[in-house]
Structures are given as C-alpha cells and as structure tokens.
Amino acid sequence: MVGQRLAKVTQRRADLRWPLPENFAGRLEGRKVVRLYRRAKFILAELDDGWVWMTHLGMSGRMYIHQETEPNPGKHDHILIRTDGGHTVVYQDHRRFGMMDLVPADDLDDHRLLRDIGPEPLGNNFDGVYLSASLQGRRTPIKSALLDQKIVAGLGNIYVCEALYHSGISPRRLAASVAGRRAEKLVPAIRDVLTKAIAKGGSTLRDYVQASGELGYFQHEFAVYGREGEPCHHCQEPILRLVQSGRSTFFCSKCQR
C-alpha cells in the first residue's frame, strides 16, 4: 500500500467496536499512503494529508489482499479499499472487536489508546535497565506484568509464556524480583521469541491467518504454550498449566525459577 493512492473506499457499516469517524470512507478516498508502520498492536498508515489511518484487528479481525479482480464482499467484510495499483485490501471481522480511527499525525502520541503504551520490545528503548526500573516495587507475578501494555508494548500471552521459559524465569515469580541479571536475561529472550515468531508468520491456534491467507507456523515451535502434560524439551518434566489474570500460563517448574 505504500506509495499507492486509495482510489475507492467502501464502508459497509457505521461502526466496528466503536463508531467509525464521520465520513470515514470519503476522507480516505483519494489519499496516498506515505508510510505504513506499527505501534504495539496498532497498524498505522500515514497519509499524504497529514492524517494517520489507525487500525486494530481486535480478536478476530483480518486484512486480506486481493491482487487482481475486485472481490464480492462477504457478510463480515466491513471495509474494502481499492488502490490505484490494482490491489484490494479487505478488512474482515466476524466479531467486530477491531477498530479504526483517523488521527492528525501530530496528535498521534497523545491518542487515548497510544499515550500510555510502553516501549516496543524490539526497539532500542527496551533493555534490561529499563525493565528493571519498570518492575521495581511491583508485587504482581512477572507473567501478568509483562502483559501490561504500559510496561512493554504488544506482548501477548503466547510469547510471554515462551520468553519466560527461554529465560528460565518462573511466571509465578514476583515482578519486582526480576531485576538486574534476570532482567538482562529476559529482554533478549523476548526479542528472540518475537523475531522467530515473525519469521514464521505468527501463530495459528484457531482463526489467525496472514494477509496472504496463509497460516502462521510458529505454533510448531512452542516450547511450553499449549503443551500441558507433555515433557519439557530440556529436562523431560511435564509442562504445567495455571491460570493468571484469567489467562492460561504454561511453564516448566524445574527449568523456571
């Protein structure tokens, strides 16, 4: 989409999770995408008029790319965008938990959904020193703390479980105790897990697919997630499962302390 003009925008409903901006399709139509990037779990398209088209896929939202003929929209295809390069991008969302907004570029950092988000886990501002300071005094389990978007952006349940395993840190350990050497070990584990997951196209457990329609493949490399009762790859102890903050946590009680 970068460098392409949004030649035709079809908006098939007035809302997703929240109401769409007034005249949403009309304000997108004719605009050129200058830059496409990400902040946390938000997709951000910088437009040539100084505004940013902001999207969150929610739990079940998908972006499909059709390269040739313009598709006939299905029941859950809510936004269709045809570029002047001949591609059609379709936003599909069965449960409508996703959202879209239009934000002035200069005001983006102050948007209510972005202003309190922590640094990117793959960015230069996320390191052991920062993580130690952010966890200081926190009495919640480290697993719950890492899912707090105010501490670090965009980490999900699967990847936190995997990173804690690879760093040898128990998900039950108090966040405040993950400092110094432990934090220095956890940060590269988080980066490594995310980098490998991206290379594999993500993790398909139920309905996630890539924009091409292909499945993700990282689930075949899970060390702990979803493997309750199966042997740990390192010590052969059975992987355990517990519930923390309403989310399933998988870990090895012997390898993670």
Kindly report, residue by residue over 140-174, the tens digit of the pLDDT: 999 999 999 999 998 989 999 999 999 999 999 99
* DSSP helix/strand/coil, 255: coil
- Domain boundary residue, one of 55, 75, 110: 110
Q: Report which of 33, 27, 26 is spatially closest to residue 87, judged by C-alpha positions.
A: 33
- Domain boundary residue, one of 110, 145, 160: 110
The verdict on residue 40 lying in a domain is yes
Quote the crossing angle between the two packed helices 128-135 and 181-199, to the nearest 10°: 110
What is the tally of structural domains in the chain? 2
* Owning domain of residue 75: 6-110
The verdict on residue 123 lying in a domain is no
Q: What is the CATH number of the domain that holds 146?
A: 1.10.8.50
Chain segment 106-136, per-residue pLDDT in tens: 999 999 999 999 999 999 999 999 999 999 9
- Co-location of 202 and 169 in the same domain: yes
The verdict on residue 1 lying in a domain is no
State which residues of the chain have pLDDT below 70.
202-219
Q: Report which of 103, 122, 124 is spatially closest to residue 112, judged by C-alpha positions.
A: 103
